[in-house]
Amino acid sequence: MAKRSLSETCTKYPIQLPMQYQTSGVRSVKGSGQTISMNSKTVRFISDHDLRAGLEVCLVISWPAYLPDGTALNLFMFGSIERSLSLEVDVGISRYEFRTRGNPDGWSARGGTVELNRTI
């Protein structure tokens, strides 16, 4: 029996939200897209670039809910690309966190490069 990936075994919720991403490595790629479905372990999205499986990636998703004081949120999800077919990409998530949306392009005010690491 073939081993199934996380994207095949976990229930995903259909949700379409604007997002940005950045891959790690020497040839880092920044782009944007829209989520198709997600849960706490996987995200499927449509990308504006052809991305290859195995790349580490940071996703920044514009979260639709706000804090009680009206502050907007971004959901940062870190993981690796499990599958990429045409422009549809599946990412296995290793960690995620919510951050306040202080910068209009979604990236940290510290500069624009997001450090990817494997901590959970």
At 18-46, the pLDDT tens digits run 999 999 988 899 999 999 999 989 999 99
Each residue of 22-57: b (16+ CB within 10 Å) or e?
Answer: bbbeeeebbebbebbbbeebbbbbebeeebeeebbb
Q: What is the pLDDT of residue 119?
A: 38
Cβ contacts of residue 64 below 8 Å, gap of 6+?
17
The percent of residues above 90 in pLDDT, for the chain, comes to 69
- Identify whether the C-beta of residue 21 lies closer than 8 Å to the C-beta of residue 57: yes
More confident residue, 13 or 108: 13
Mean pLDDT of 50-71: 95
**pTM of the model as a whole:** 0.77
**Mean pLDDT across the chain:** 84
Q: How far apart are CA 35 and CA 45, in angstroms?
A: 4
Q: What is the pLDDT of residue 10?
A: 63
Q: What is the pLDDT of residue 98?
A: 95
Per-residue pLDDT of 82-110, as tens digits, reads 999 989 999 999 999 999 987 555 454 34
Q: How far apart are CA 59 and CA 114, in angstroms?
A: 10
More confident residue, 116 or 79: 79
